[in-house]
Amino acid sequence: MFYYEPVITRAWDSVAFINNDVPFGFHIRNIHYHGSNAMVLLAISHMYYQFFSGRYKIRNEILWVTGVILGTVTILEAFTGYDVIFSERAELAISIAASLTNSIPIVGPTIRESMFGAGFHDFVLRFYAQHVFILPVVMLGLMAVHFPRFLVFDVPMVMAISGAILITGGVFPVDLGFKFLPTVPPGITVPEWYLTGLYAFLRTQYDKFVTGVLWPGLFILSLLLIPFIDRYKKFSWKDRPLITAMGITGIAQIMVTTYWGFYIPPDSTIPLVERLVIDPIYLYSVMVLLVPMSFGFTYMMIHLAKEAERKAKLAKEKGPQKVAQIHLSEKWINWVIIALIGFQVFLNIAAYNAFLTGMNNLSLFFAGLILIVFAGLFHVYRYGMSEASKPPPPPKAALQEKKPKALAEQPKQISETKKLTETGGDDKKDAPKQAPPPTPQVKTGSVGQDLRKDSAVGISDLKKP
């Protein structure tokens, strides 16, 4: 922002000055460029994760709608960012966007004039204002609604993603491209990867409004209406076959059109117009053919997934499965931390040396490795702290002493009862039947006879109360 000049004659030169002469300008520009691509990629990945997991069904329709709008604004933010360079690639994207906006009935010319201005002299300043102020404010407002409570900030994950962005910038440094000059015919170029699908439809030379506005608008509208169309009771993608098939179809069509937008026949003997034009019958036939193929693939994957679940349940009923786990002792954790710290020091020295020798892409690569190693170091440290907080296991001798005698004698009792049950049937067969004991019988008059026989008892004793 401090060195860029939003003027049509100075835009490309100012970016070249930032990239080549400003200290760390190469690093900042590559981080900015690949970070914007990562932002778009993560937004699309997050959207499809929520789509297939059915999270929007938990009374989160507003969050889903704001998320789809936020993803669209993210693409616009990235689009306005690489256009302010005003290279040949940017001029192609600007011309296409202006013509598509102008093709919208009734309000098209008004929108084009407000966004692009009266010509190239106005658009650079307007796109710069949209990129650094207007669109970021809109994104912050949508994020306040989309993330109403909090954002999960995991230090190792953030460091790992940042390191991956830096490594990508070191391996694939972004170039400036050719400066656009009105007097020089532009070369063959294509837009950024997140717009090449739309570019493939435009290369059919069909109606601009249909291919460039209507089809993308219908796609975004279908995503917005998904929570209100999905009436399945369950959340898993396996239990929502129709919605899952629609998502797979959309992904397949995006992948095919993205590749098609990039592909240009390399044969230079073919006229340029024939190399750029895509046969509309061929393109739309493939789009239609992808629908039954995607539905068949979806139902096949659902069948395989449910069959795998059934086999897993049968295996679980037979007994618990042992899962291999890695447990590091305190000694090994300390050695791993020391090794990572040593490797971190080496990477810092290597990155500084690469920067001093002018190897900017290598220094950026080492900086990415530094962040990834720091993420691993933080993760190992957190693992060690969690292991240290666990109570130590009791010794085996103490466990045997505390073991109750009843539990210790239980196997003996079980074995004895088994023996008794095994021998009990034979004993009953061999033992003779015993007669029941005789019941005593009392006869009338026996008391008087006994009293007469006893001489010590008199009649007077019997009369006493």
Last residue of a domain, one of 318, 351, 369: 318
φ, ψ for residue 179, nearest 5 deg: -70, 135
Do residues 314 and 334 both lie within one domain? no
Say which range, 55-69, 72-86, 137-151, 282-296, has the weakest mean pLDDT.
137-151
pLDDT at 450 over 60: no
Q: Do 367 and 341 fall into the same domain?
A: yes
| Residue 296: pLDDT over 70 | yes
End-of-domain residue from the set 318, 348, 368: 318
Per the model's pLDDT, the better-predicted residue between 384 and 432 turns out to be 384
Tell me whether residue 154 is in a domain: no
Is 310 a member of any domain?
A: yes
Residue 342 belongs to a domain: yes
Residues 311 and 362 in one domain: no
Do 237 and 290 fall within a single domain? yes
Judged against a pLDDT cut of 80, whether residue 429 lies above it is answered with: no
pLDDT recorded at residue 49: 92
Q: Is residue 309 part of a domain?
A: yes
Residues 222-253 have pLDDT tens digits of: 999 998 888 888 888 999 999 999 999 999 99
347: Cβ contacts below 8 Å, ≥ 6 apart: 366, 369, 370, 373
- 5-25 burial, b if ≥16 CB within 10 A, otherwise e? ebebeebbebbeebbeeeeeb
In-domain check, residue 56: no
Q: What is the pLDDT of residues 152-208, one digit of tens each?
A: 567 788 889 899 999 999 999 988 888 888 888 777 888 889 999 999 999 998 888
Q: Does the pLDDT value for residue 325 go beyond 90?
A: no
pLDDT-based confidence at 258, cuts 50/70/90?
very high
- Mean of the per-residue pLDDT values for the chain? 82
How many distinct structural domains can be found in the chain?
2
* Alpha-carbon gap, residue 372 to 156, rounded angstroms: 8
Question: pLDDT tens-digit profile of 5-48?
Answer: 888 888 999 999 999 999 899 999 999 999 999 999 999 999 99
What is the pLDDT, as a whole number, of residue 13?
92
Domain end position, chosen among 340, 364, 389: 389
pLDDT at 298 over 60: yes
* 310 in the same domain as 272: yes
- Residue 447 lies inside a defined structural domain of this protein: no
Domain range spanning residue 278?
A: 228-318
- 290 and 356 in a single domain? The answer is no
Q: Has residue 358 been placed in a domain?
A: yes
More confident: 84 or 414: 84
